[in-house]
Each structure stands twice: as C-alpha cells, then as structure tokens.
Homo-oligomer: A and B are copies of this chain.
Amino acid sequence: MFLGYEMEPKELQAAVDEANQKALGILLASQPVWTDVRQAIEVLPGMTKSTILHAGPPIAWDRMCEAQRNGVINGILYERLADARDEAIRMVEEDKVILAPCHDYGTVGGMAGITTASMPLVQVRNERTGNDGYSQLFQGPDVQAWRSEDYSSAAVKQWCYLEQVLGPALQGAIRLRGGLDVKSLLAKALQMGDECHNRNVAGSALLMREMTPYLLRAGIGRQMLHDSIDYLARAEQFCLTLGMAAAKATVEPAKGIPYCTIVTTMARNGTDFGIKISALGEAWFTASANPVQGLYFSSEWGPQDAALDMGDSAIMETVGLGGMVQASAPALQQFVGGSFRRALELTREMRGISVGTNRDYQLPNLDFEGAPIGIDARRVVESGITPILDTAIAHKAGGVIGAGQARAPLACFERAMEAFSQGPAGATGSRKATPA
C-alpha cells in the first residue's frame, strides 16, 4: 500500500504512530480562549470585499447545491456587491466574486457557511500555540422558522443584526472580560448533556451566564443591550460558534506533520464531503456527501426537502466532540430513534478509529472516561468504520429544518490514504480539490 516511501512497511507504521502521537499531543495541549469579535475583512488573510467563503471543500458554482448557492447570492446582496439576485448570479458566473472554502481562510461556518467581508467573527486564540481560529456568529434562534420563500431577505436581515448589534455588543463584553476559556466551558457542557455539536443548550446557557455581567458593563446602549440579551436567551445553539472557532484553532497546529495520518479537517458543502490529513497539509480529499438521517422540526418537511450533509461544523467531531461523544448527550437519540445503549456503543466505536483520549473532556455516563480524540484515517480505512457526525438538516433552498446524524463517506478517507501511500512528497499538499 505505501509504495512511495523508502522504508519497510513496519518502519513506516512506526513513523506514522510516532507522528500521530505528536499530533495528538498538539490537539490535547490546545488552550482555546475566546478573545475578540472581529470583522472578517480585518482578520482573515487573503479576504477581500468580493470574496464569498462557504462551508466544505472547494466547489465550482455549477456543482454547488441550491442552499449554498442561495447563501452565496445572499452574501453578495448583503455586501451590496449587487442589488438583485439576477445580477448576483451573473457576477458569480463572470468570476467577479471569489468563491472559496472558509477552512482555507482560517475560519469555519455552520451549514452553508457563508462568510463575507463585513461579517463579525468570533476569534478564539489557541494560547498554547498562538494561532487564532474564527467562526461566523451562529445565525440565531429563528433560523429554524425560516421558510424557503423568505430565506433570502431573512438571511440578509439577520446578518445585518449580527453586524450591527450582536457583534459589537459581544465585542465590547468579551474585551471587557479579557477572554473566556472555551475548553473549560465545553468541559462543563459535556457534563450537562451537551455533545457540543447538535446539542448546545447547556453551553449556551453557561455562556450567557458568563457574559451577561460584562454585557451590562460594556457601555453599550440600552436597546442594543436588550436585543443582545434577548437573542442569547433564545439561541440554544449559540455556543457552537465558539466551539467551532476553538476547534479550528485547535487543529491548525496539528497540520503538516510528516507521516501523520490524523484527520485535521472534515467539512461538507452539501455536494461533497472533504477531509484533510495532517501529513498532506492543505490538500482536500473528497467524496459525495451523504444524506442526514434524523427528525424534521415540522411535519411539512421530509427527506425530499433536505439538502445533503452540509457545513463546517464537522470540525467538532474532528476534535473529538459531537458524534464522537454521543454518550454524553443521550437526549439526541430522540432525533434518530436511538437509545442510551446506542449512544454508548457509538462512542465506543469511535474510540476504535481514534488515536487518543482527551482527559479534559470527561464523560460522566462512561464513569468520566475521556472523549476519544484524533481520528486516524488509516484506522478508518482499515476498519471501514467512518466517523459519525451529529448535524442539523438544511432545507434544499436554505434554512434549518431538522437534526440528526450522518456518516462520513469512506471514499474520501481511502483517497487520502491512497495519496499518502504515494510517498512523503504528498506532504507538500495542494489546495485543489480532488474530484468526487
């Protein structure tokens, strides 16, 4: 299998094991701290006024799913690069805007993941290594209620609210507070029935508890204060935005380690599922995204309305949370007709494809065992067991209409390991997507 290496198979495996331990050490040592809220254009390297970032691996406009296309159009309208949908679509077709993955610009985005120049991002610093991870602010408590027919105007209005009200309010509060330890927040949430991907009700309530005293004292206007508090009081998934930025800050220093087969990125754009592995740097390996099995929030929706698996939120599983720690959030089994036993079994199964155990994230339902962490693409290919992801279900046209679980497709791990087998030259990486 490993034709491109000038060493014996056994020697190579030892080199991989050693490299994986090194990457594991980096993941475990991560110290993510929420430090600021910044506009994308200010902080993302290479970001321009006419760049529209999206979730998942790179994808051409003509292969993009409808929900993400609508997101791109909304992003163009929101940035006032165009005044109407037709004009926005023409701009894309004429290459007047740059489409690129959030992940390749140092940030992550949930669902369609649309991130544009003016948007406020949470900044989470990995204090161990000094690098920052970013995430768009979560789109808020009303996202579920959006219908496809008004998705466009609702999205743009919501982004304006985030830019003009919530972003500045949180910026003032977190600066006044002098940072917030995200690892400690998520560790507490894990003891309160969250798995920090599909369930964030505990983390979000704790976050509000931590931030409210500072929001009160940040010198922001009365109306802005009330609006921000009302938003946080209802946004039960809000903590995910911090979790995702923290995860991004955590995986970045683990990239580019020679011989390392640990997965450093998993992300979906509603068409393709893409991964990166450490040794191969920024190269994407993709396969077709799977449908999501789950529960719809209203009887008006069903599988025929759903987009395929979408969003950068699989960064949570990449750092050993979400689907990897189902055992901590048995309530989520209600989405998939599961059971407490199934939740425990899935966490045990995920241990089999993981390199290590994260003692900072303890699971009370497993007698405080640590969470599995560090997905080894080699073990995935050998066992045929792929990571299980907790995820929301997007409507084909945009908006969240349900929640459930999806498996990562095996083929992208096979492609990554195939490239890995070509030898260490692969480690220089490529930003181009391999075709699905």
The answer, yes or no, to whether A208 is at the interface (CB within 8 Å) is yes
Closest beta carbon of chain B to A79's beta carbon, Å: 32
Check A226/B230 contact, CB under 8 A, given A192-B192, A365-B340.
Answer: no
| Chain A interface helix/strand/loop/mixed | helix
Partner of A191, one of B191, B193, B206, B367: B193
Contact B364 A191 (CB under 8 A): no
Contact B233 A212 (CB under 8 A): yes
Closest chain B residue to A217 by CB distance?
B226
The answer, yes or no, to whether A331 is at the interface (CB within 8 Å) is yes
- On chain B, the residues within 8 Å of A368 by CB distance are 334
Contact A233 B210 (CB under 8 A): yes
- On chain B, the residues within 8 Å of A331 by CB distance are 191, 364
**Could you say which of A212, A226, A339 has the most chain B C-beta atoms within 10 Å of its C-beta?**
A212
Contact B233 A209 (CB under 8 A): yes
Contact B212 A212 (CB under 8 A): yes
Contact A330 B209 (CB under 8 A): no
Contact A330 B193 (CB under 8 A): no
- On chain B, the residues within 8 Å of A366 by CB distance are 340
CA distance A202 to B209 in the complex (A): 11
Contact A365 B205 (CB under 8 A): no
The answer, yes or no, to whether A178 is at the interface (CB within 8 Å) is no
The answer, yes or no, to whether A218 is at the interface (CB within 8 Å) is no
CA distance A202 to B206 in the complex (A): 8
The answer, yes or no, to whether A225 is at the interface (CB within 8 Å) is yes
Chain A 199-228 interface mask (CB, 8 Å, partner B; 1/0): 001100110111011001100000001100
CA distance A313 to B33 in the complex (A): 38
Closest chain B residue to A210 by CB distance?
B233
CA distance A192 to B209 in the complex (A): 16
CA distance A238 to B212 in the complex (A): 17
Partner of A213, one of B188, B230, B334: B230
- On chain B, the residues within 8 Å of A209 by CB distance are 205, 208-209, 232-233
- On chain B, the residues within 8 Å of A232 by CB distance are 209
- On chain B, the residues within 8 Å of A364 by CB distance are 193, 330-331, 333, 340
The answer, yes or no, to whether A229 is at the interface (CB within 8 Å) is yes
Closest chain B residue to A188 by CB distance?
B201
Closest beta carbon of chain B to A192's beta carbon, Å: 4
CA distance A206 to B217 in the complex (A): 22
Partner of A229, one of B192, B216, B330: B216
Can you list 12 A-B pairs with a CB-CB distance of less than 8 A? Answer: A192-B192, A192-B194, A202-B205, A205-B208, A212-B229, A213-B226, A213-B230, A216-B229, A330-B364, A334-B368, A340-B365, A340-B366
Q: Which A residues contact B (CB, under 8 angstroms)?
A: 188, 191-194, 201-202, 205-206, 208-210, 212-213, 216-217, 225-226, 229-230, 232-233, 330-331, 333-334, 339-341, 364-368
Top 8 nearest A-B pairs (CB, nearest first) are A205-B205, A330-B364, A192-B192, A192-B193, A331-B364, A340-B367, A205-B209, A209-B233
